[in-house]
Amino acid sequence: MKIGFIGLGIMGKPMSKNLLTAGYRLVVFDVNAAPMKELSALGAETAASPKEVAAKCDVVVTMLPNSPHVKAVVSGPRGVIEGAGPGKTVIDMSSIAPLASREIASLLAEKGVEMLDAPVSGGEPKAIDGTLSVMVGGKKDVFERCYPLMKAMAASVVRVGDTGAGNVAKLANQIVVALNIAAMSEALVFAAKAGVRPDLVYQAIRGGLAGSTVLDAKAPLVMDRKFSPGFRINLHIKDLGNVLETSREIGVPLPMTAAVMEMMQAIKVDGLGDADHCSLVRHYERMAHIEVNR
Question: Within a 10 A sphere around the Cβ of 262, how many other Cβ atoms?
Answer: 11
Are 53 and 60 within 8 A, CB to CB? yes
Instruction: For residues 33 and 125, give the distance between their C-alpha atoms in angstroms, rounded to a whole number.
Output: 23
Are 82 and 108 within 8 A, CB to CB? no
Are 46 and 180 within 8 A, CB to CB? no
Instruction: For residues 109 and 178, give the distance between their C-alpha atoms in angstroms, rounded to a whole number.
Output: 34
Which of 170, 218, 238, 268 is the catalytic position?
Answer: 170
Closest by CA position to 245, among listed 185, 181, 174, 160: 174
Active site residue 170: yes
Q: What are phi and psi of 154, to 5 degrees?
A: -145, 160
Q: Which residues are catalytic?
A: 170
